[in-house]
Amino acid sequence: MARSAKRLTVGARKALWGWAFVVPALAFFGLFAFYPIINALVLSLHSKNVLSLRPPRFVGFQNYVDLWNSAQFWNSWKATGLFTVSTAVPLVLVSLLLATLIVSRLRLQRFFQMALYTPAVIPGVVAAAIWLMLLDPRGIANQWVNFVLGVSGIDRKWLASPDMVRLSTVLVYFWGKLGFFTIIFIAGLGGIPTSVKEAARVDGATGFQLYRYITLPLLKPTTLLVSIMAMIFCMRTFSTQYLFTQSGAPREPINVVTLGIYTTAIRDYQIGLASAMSIVLLVVMFVLAFLQFRASRTQDG
Amino acid sequence: MALQTQQVHGGGTRFRHTPVGVMGNVLGWMLLCFAVLLVLTPVAFMFIASFMPARDILKLPFSWWPQTWYFENFWHAIQGNDGRFIFPRALLNSVFVAGTIAVTTVLLSTMAGYGLTKLRFRGAGIVFMFILSTLMIPFETVMIPLYVVVTNLGLQNSYAGLIVPFLLSAFGVFLMRQSLLSFPDELLDAARIDGASEPGIFFRVVLPNMWPVMAVLAILTFEAQWDNLIWPLLVVQSSELKTMPLYVVTFMEEKSTNEGAMVAVAAISSIPMLIIFFTLSQYFLRGANVFSAGKE
């Protein structure tokens, strides 16, 4: 080995070592990323019950047809869609506003960043558990909302009425992710060259004009990144909804796709159907990310 | 990648002295303080309520300071409802699982990133695209097939089953590759001329110089795993193997859990990450930046 290695040129030896450094990663992604996806594609064409010893039975596209005809599946997409839109849009807008405000402070920038980021380091299940108490009929949420509205003793049914349960999951998620996106926006704002702003200022732009016509357009890559990330994060939401349903909130309004996949596979033992649901989720996320990416391209001309 | 702390200087200072500017400035401060207050309320509630007996926690109006400090909750939380001390074990399990994953992710990602950038071989571009394409696969879409794979390997309900699917991340490889692109070749060549072997160069030259990015990756990975509920929920059944998020869910479902013990479990589960956050905050704030740097 040593002798043959010596005969190789320096470049070839480096290339060999290059392979050696990369092979563990290749093997890993092959086995734990690509193989499962292929496996999911194959399984989604089969009927397979976890409990039965019978091998998977080939059923063609029957699982997809079943999904198409399943009211529950459409409902879970409605739940995911509503959740994603009503969480991601406020997330992007509010984090942009907060980042803009923080960046224009001369003091305490770091304090505000850290304070807003704190919820992001609270584990998701813990966040959900705490919010379940805040949203309890006897909890602080009722107390504060009633105080602001100047009434007393009204139960807002945060965890009981379908729309309010949706809103509650949005609140939990929004709270947890706000600081994260604020910080990305702060980094984006910091990346805008001051020379451009100075030039606009010399030309007589006011603060608002400067923000509207210089800062926002230059911030577009960050805004795009944040919106795609927010959307993809929201579509992947699981623990909040899981904890809410486990603690007795109505399942139907918050039965998001990930929760649907989990229950189909684990509670109903239908691996084939769950795989088909996973593939649909994957395709939808790909398409959305691609469309958003392209929209940004064409606008730039 | 530039990893400086972000003291960003925004616009608007020039208008500070006009009446509109002053008002806007004051409004900005008020909005920010209000946002911080709202955001920190649940955290404050958690810590204050953990020192209250259960009957005081869900009481209208909530008193924002305990009348008497009540420590029973923590004892109840640590013992668990059955007195078997599963909770401390779950915390240790989480530290072990998330820690192992953080170490292997950093090491293997740096290795792969180094091989892809500094030991160029034919096909490196394709290999990188292959790895990058898995970045687009969200975990939730592969969890069921992955569960099938792990079960077939006989790893369900074991530490290996919890750890193995996360040994390495595409994001990690991507991050380390981008960071290593700007690593000076002169350093590597100098070591080669001195007769160092390639593994030697990697461990003695590359690793010591990459630690800031590695620390960011380690923290991001640890945080993600510390928070992982769905995978342990799929693969773990026995209570000895439960990680913290899984334990929190189980504890909440148990009939004899009261609000006091629940909120104490929540507080204890939050403390490790909060301590890490407050001592290493710059890495967390950089960590979020890494995502925005990744887009270029």
pLDDT at A295 > cutoff 70: no
Mean pLDDT in each 10-residue stretch from start to end of chain B (296 residues)? 46 59 86 95 94 86 84 92 92 97 96 91 88 84 89 93 94 92 90 88 92 91 94 93 95 88 95 93 79 50
- Residues A122, A20 within the same domain: no
Residue A54 domain flag: no
**A164 and A21 in one domain?**
no
At A148, which CATH number?
Answer: 1.10.3720.10
CB-CB: which of B49, B108, B245 is closest to A24? B108
Quick one: pLDDT at residue B4?
Answer: 42
Residues spanned by CATH 1.10.3720.10 within chain B?
Answer: 86-257
Q: Alpha carbon of A48 to those of A63, A76, A171, A273, A276: distances in Å?
A: 11, 22, 38, 8, 12
Instruction: Look at residues B179, B121, B210 and name the one whose alpha carbon lies nearest to residue B1.
Output: B179
* A210 vs A29: CA distance, rounded Å: 46
**Residues A173, A292 within the same domain:** yes
pLDDT at B5: 45
Residue A124 and residue A180 in one domain: yes
| Dist CA B290 CA A187 (whole Å) | 9
Computed over every residue of chain A, the mean pLDDT equals 88
Taking an 8 Å cut-off on Cβ atoms, the answer to whether B138 and A236 are in contact is yes
Count of beta carbons in the 10 Å neighbourhood of residue B91: 18
Distance from the Cα of A162 to chain B's closest Cα (Å) equals 22
Q: Which residues of B touch A168 (CB under 8 A)?
A: none
Q: In chain A, how many domains are there?
A: 2
Domain contains A57: no
User: Does B269 sit within 8 Å of A25, measured CB to CB?
Assistant: no
Question: Is A24 among the domain residues?
Answer: yes
Is A53 among the domain residues? no
Provide the CB-side half-sphere exposure for B43 (13 A, CA).
Answer: 20
For chains A and B, CB pairs below 8 A equal 310
Considering only CB atoms, B165 lies closest to which of A32, A194, A242, namely A32
A134, B45: Cβ pair inside 8 Å? yes
Both A81 and A229 in one domain: the answer is yes
Query: How confident is the model over A135-193, as pLDDT tens digits?
Result: 998 888 888 898 889 888 788 889 989 999 999 999 999 999 999 999 999 988 988 88
Q: Are residues A258 and A288 in the same domain?
A: yes
Same domain, A30 and A140: no
Task: Please report which confidence band the pLDDT of residue A82 belongs to, taking 50, 70 and 90 as the band edges.
Answer: very high
Question: pLDDT category, A296, cuts 50, 70, 90?
Answer: low
Q: Is the pLDDT of residue A4 over 90?
A: no
Same domain, A201 and A248: yes
- Residue A28 scores a pLDDT above 70: yes
Write the pLDDT tens digit of every residue in A216-268. Answer: 998 888 888 888 889 989 999 999 999 999 988 999 999 999 999 999 998 88
ipTM over 0.90: no
DSSP β-bridge partners for residue A49: A270
What amino acid is encoded at B5 in this protein?
T
Residue B284's pLDDT is 84
For range A192-220, the mean pLDDT: 85
Q: Is residue A51 included in any domain, yes or no?
A: no
Q: What is the pTM of this model?
A: 0.89
Instruction: Please answer yes or no on whether B168 and A24 come within 8 Å at the CB atom.
Output: yes
In a domain, A177, yes or no: yes
**Contact yes or no for A183 and B121 at CB 8 A:** no
Task: Assess whether A11 and A69 both reside in one domain.
Answer: no
Same domain? For A157 and A108 the reply is yes
Q: Is the pLDDT of residue A75 over 70?
A: yes
Contacts of A154 in chain B (CB under 8 A): none
Task: Name every chain A residue with its beta carbon within 8 A of the beta carbon of B15.
Answer: 206-207
**Whether residue A114 is found in the same domain as residue A258:** yes
Tell me yes or no: is domain B86-257 CATH 2.30.30.60: no
- Which SS3 state, helix, strand or coil, does residue A233 take? helix
Range of the domain at A71: 62-299
- The answer for A 51-90 residues in CB contact with B (under 8 A) is none
In a domain, A195, yes or no: yes
Q: A54 CB contacts (<8 Å, ≥6 apart)? A: none
Are residues A15 and A98 both part of a single domain? no
Residue A55 covered by a domain: no
User: Over chain B, what HEC string results?
Assistant: CCCCCCCCCCCCHHHCCCHHHHHHHHHHHHHHHHHHHHHHHHHHHHHHHCCCCHHHHCCCCCCCCCCCCCCHHHHHHHHCCCCCCHHHHHHHHHHHHHHHHHHHHHHHHHHHHHHHHHCCCCCHHHHHHHHHHHHCCCHHHHHHHHHHHHHHCCCCCCHHHHHHHHCCCHHHHHHHHHHHCCCCHHHHHHHHHCCCCHHHHHHHHHHHHCHHHHHHHHHHHHHHHHCCCHHHHHHCCCHHHCCHHHHHHHHHHCCCCCHHHHHHHHHHHHHHHHHHHHHCHHHHHHHHHHHHHCCC
